[in-house]
């Protein structure tokens, strides 16, 4: 699974979110083949190359193109909360779209 995390500036918050998401998905048994973080403005142009985009809740509507092509967009409030990431992943289509190891 290819994941992208995005925040306003693409440095601190998206990096912390990427680490939380990667660790949580691997704990849940998913294989991450690529994980990147960037700013929302850059992410809008490259998001189509990823299976799942994780971003702060206010930015989720900026990734409608990802949803239209069947990708997942998940809004996260607390970027260091593994529990929130796990809850949102389980409530998404990820469990039906991607095999666990």
Which of left, alpha, beta for 6 (phi over 0: left; psi -120 to 50: alpha)? beta
pLDDT tens-digit map of 44-86: 999 999 999 999 999 999 998 898 988 999 999 999 999 999 9
Phi-psi region of 29 (alpha: psi -120 to 50; beta: other; left: phi over 0): left
- What domains are defined for the chain? 2-97 (3.40.50.2300)
The pTM (predicted TM-score) of the whole model is: 0.94
Residue 23 is predicted with a pLDDT of 97
* Separation of CA 31 from chain center: 14
Nearest Cα neighbor of 42 from 81, 9, 76 is: 9
């Amino acid at each position: 699974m290819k994941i992208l995390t995005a925040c306003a500036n693409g440095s601190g918050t998206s990096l912390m979110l990427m680490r939380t998401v990667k660790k949580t998905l691997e704990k849940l048994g998913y294989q991450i083949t690529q994980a990147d973080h960037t700013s929302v403005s850059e992410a809008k142009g490259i998001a189509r190359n990823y299976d799942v985009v994780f971003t702060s809740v206010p930015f989720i509507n900026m990734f409608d193109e990802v949803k239209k092509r069947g990708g997942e967009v998940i809004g996260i409030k607390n970027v260091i909360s593994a529990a929130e990431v796990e809850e949102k992943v389980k409530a998404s289509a990820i469990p039906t779209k991607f095999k666990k190891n």
